[in-house]
Amino acid sequence: MVTKMKRRYTIFTLLFLVLSTVCAQVTLKVQAPSQAEVGQKIRISYIANTTDVDDIQVGDFTGFDVLYGPSTSRSSSYSIVNGHVTGGSTITYTYTVIPTTEGTLKVPVATIKVDGKTVKSASPSIEVLPSDQQQSQQPSNSQQRGNARQQRGASGDRQIDSKELYVNVTANRQKIYEQEAVMLTYKLYTLVNIRGIDGDMPQIDGCHVQEMDRGAQLSLKYENVNGRNYGTAVWKQYVIFPQKTGKLKIPSITFDMQVEVQNRSMDPFDIFFGGGSLTQMVHRQVVAPAVEIEVLPLPTPKPDNFSGAVGKFSVSASLTPEQVNANDAATLRLVVSGQGNMKLMKAPKVNFPQDFEVYDPKENNKTTNTATGAKGNIIYDYVVVPRHGGKFSIPPVEFCYFDPEKERYNTVRTDSFSLAVAKAKGHAVAYTREQEDLNVLSNDIRFIKLGELESAETDDFFGTSVYWLTYVLAFVAFVLAFLWIRRQQRLNPNSWSVKGKKAGKVASRRLKQASKLMREKNDAAFYDEVMRALLGYAGDKLSLPTNELSKDNVISKLTERGVEQSVVDAFIAVLSDCEFARYAPTADANLAKEKIFQQASDVITQMNNSIK
């Protein structure tokens, strides 16, 4: 019973394969080399994805001598994986031909008939190079000529000369403007077998250098140079942005190469019995020549709003949202698109209203390197926090760049934006920011009353006993206050010193509280507590009273006390990150809070070790 079921399963499987082969779309593909030499023996194959072919017709092989063909071969493959059957059959018709003329030759179209339907192949091109001069002196046998091609100039007992292996360098421009891109291409020419190349562009003073991505693995393409058919490949490409004018000299580059050569010192008997190799690897150094480029200065005078960008650009902007409450964040997104020195230009300047708290723009670079510089766009996100209600206008943003093709400065602009700000809900939070200006309110200035001055009525208080008693009481109060202050100074002569010693403990308690708020996911309170820990620690260590506790005063005092600039920068960075994260939370908020918490702990430790 089991045997019968197996037979049935096999029969059904074969029937399924036959039906799937018949029902599949029939194709006729061509396999042929993309390059060949005059007199070189090559194969051209036509492959059909079915064996049920009635006939094949092939056009004339114009420019080729047909040695023999077609030779026919059939193949089938089937597989069953997890009950899924895949496979098929193919038939291949192969012609062996020799190109007789150089140039671009077309492979003839082949036609087959399957079940009465006609299927045609494509007609690819073959680039035919002239016959290599040295090969033409070799034996006429094709196989021997192929061996001679591999072996020439590749023996281990002599040096490989510069005509057999060299690197050429070309620049796509010989004269450019300052900050304009120029691409250098280093191309390999070889008559020997290369197994490895190592070498890179050295540092160039006054230049910004970007290496182009080569992509896939190195592959050779043959070119006829001075009668020799070299294997060629683009090895390196660099885009260079000169930062100064005058004659720019790109230095030569030395490439270390591993060349496969014949091992003529080996005993043939050792090779036959597996004791050696017919080839060996040798090292050769190839020097690519230096290149000189003329760099022109940008025209003067430069516009005041020049961004430093050189190329062709456009700019667009969007504001999100267009209605917010006071002390809530809004984001102005600027997108600079184009091609040029995009990675070197400055962020556009935006003229926000005075009572807006503005953070440094976050930059998102979406560019790729090309022969004429970076291409794509750079996104700048400006996060702003309006502090008061009202309707505010953000003027158009200007972006000025230099167009090297038209040799002039161009300015592009965005639209203007209106931002409606409602009054803050609940209690407003007080902030001390260096960029907030003092606004004089209208009710702070009163009109001067016009008319005749009225003399003030005199009273009898001056010179009375109450008048002198007031003086005496004021003097006694002053003396008592003076004595009390002196007593406090004697009891605690180093109050600020005590605060400084306890600063670490106070900051530690605040950081513990911040850690608790972080676990409770109370983001706003967490960032406030971290900022209080930092500013409070700095105030206690630097003897700053609360009314003088601002970022500018802390930075000034830290510098006076000899704190390293790196510690000061870290202190400022943590405060800025707290402020930014409070109003512009990221997708990875938990990671951001953990990072800020750790940075705050590290900064307090560094300040404790640095404050003298």
- Rounded alpha-carbon distances, angstroms, from residue 442 to 260, 397, 447: 88, 31, 11
Among residues 121, 91, 125, the alpha carbon closest in space to that of 30 is found at 121
pLDDT digits (tens, 9 = 90+) for 200-212: 888 888 888 888 8
Residue 386 pLDDT level (bands cut at 50, 70, 90)? very high
Extract the tokens encoding 54.
């009635």
Residue 20 pLDDT level (bands cut at 50, 70, 90)? very low
Cis peptide before 321 (omega within 30 of 0): yes
Q: Where in the chain is the domain with CATH 2.60.40.740?
A: 306-422
Query: Does the pLDDT at position 63 exceed 80?
Result: yes
Q: What is the mean pLDDT of residues 162-187?
A: 91
> Minimum mean pLDDT among 137-141, 350-354, 388-392, 606-610: which range?
137-141
Residue 191's SS3 state is: coil
Q: What is the mean pLDDT of residues 180-195?
A: 90
> Minimum mean pLDDT among 166-180, 341-355, 472-486: which range?
472-486
- Rounded alpha-carbon distances, angstroms, from residue 347 to 194, 350, 379, 412, 598: 46, 9, 9, 14, 30
Q: What is the mean pLDDT of residues 86-94?
A: 82
* Structural contact between residues 47 and 28, judged by C-beta atoms closer than 8 angstroms: yes
* Structural contact between residues 384 and 358, judged by C-beta atoms closer than 8 angstroms: yes
* Dist CA 267 CA 276 (whole Å): 8
List all residues 6 or more positions away from 441 whose beta carbon is below 8 Å from its beta carbon: none
Query: Does the pLDDT at position 414 exceed 70?
Result: yes
**Residue that wins the pLDDT comparison between 220 and 1:** 220
* Dist CA 55 CA 96 (whole Å): 20
* Structural contact between residues 135 and 42, judged by C-beta atoms closer than 8 angstroms: no
Query: Does the pLDDT at position 281 exceed 50?
Result: yes
List all residues 6 or more positions away from 81 whose beta carbon is below 8 Å from its beta carbon: none
**pTM: predicted TM-score of the whole model, two decimal places:** 0.57
Residue 145 pLDDT level (bands cut at 50, 70, 90)? very low
Class of domain 21-129: mainly beta
Q: What is the mean pLDDT of residues 537-566?
A: 77
Per-residue pLDDT, 184: 92
Residue 21 pLDDT level (bands cut at 50, 70, 90)? very low
Per-residue pLDDT, 78: 67
For 100-164, where are the E strands, in sequence order? 103-106, 110-114, 117-120, 125-129
Secondary structure (DSSP) of 451-500: SPPPPPPP-S-TTSHHHHHHHHHHHHHHHHHHHHHHHHHHH-TTHHHHHH
Q: Where in the chain is the domain with CATH 2.60.40.10?
A: 21-129
Per-residue pLDDT, 246: 92
Residue 140 pLDDT level (bands cut at 50, 70, 90)? very low
Cis peptide before 242 (omega within 30 of 0): no
Place of tokens 């997104």: 333
Residue 431 pLDDT level (bands cut at 50, 70, 90)? very low
Residue 554's SS3 state is: helix
Mean pLDDT over all residues of the chain? 79
Class of domain 146-296: mainly beta
When the candidates are 3.40.1190.20, 2.60.40.740, 3.40.50.1860, 3.40.50.720, the CATH number that belongs to 306-422 is: 2.60.40.740
Query: Does the pLDDT at position 169 exceed 70?
Result: yes
Per-residue pLDDT, 143: 44
Helix, strand, coil % in the chain, rounded to nearest 5: 30, 40, 35
Query: Does the pLDDT at position 288 exceed 60?
Result: yes
Among residues 111, 76, 117, 114, the alpha carbon closest in space to that of 93 is found at 111
* Structural contact between residues 254 and 201, judged by C-beta atoms closer than 8 angstroms: no
Per-residue pLDDT, 515: 86
> Minimum mean pLDDT among 55-59, 141-145, 267-271, 292-296: which range?
141-145
Residue 406 pLDDT level (bands cut at 50, 70, 90)? very high
Residue 141 pLDDT level (bands cut at 50, 70, 90)? very low
Q: Where in the chain is the domain with CATH 1.20.120?
A: 495-610
When the candidates are 1.20.120, 3.40.190, 2.60.40, 1.10.3110, the CATH number that belongs to 495-610 is: 1.20.120
**Residue that wins the pLDDT comparison between 227 and 414:** 414
Query: Does the pLDDT at position 418 exceed 80?
Result: yes
Sign of CA dihedral 302, 305, 308, 309: negative
Q: What is the mean pLDDT of residues 43-55?
A: 87
The CA-based dihedral angle spanning residues 214, 216, 217, 219, taken in that order and rounded to the nearest 10 degrees: -90
Residue 270 pLDDT level (bands cut at 50, 70, 90)? low
Query: Does the pLDDT at position 340 exceed 90?
Result: yes
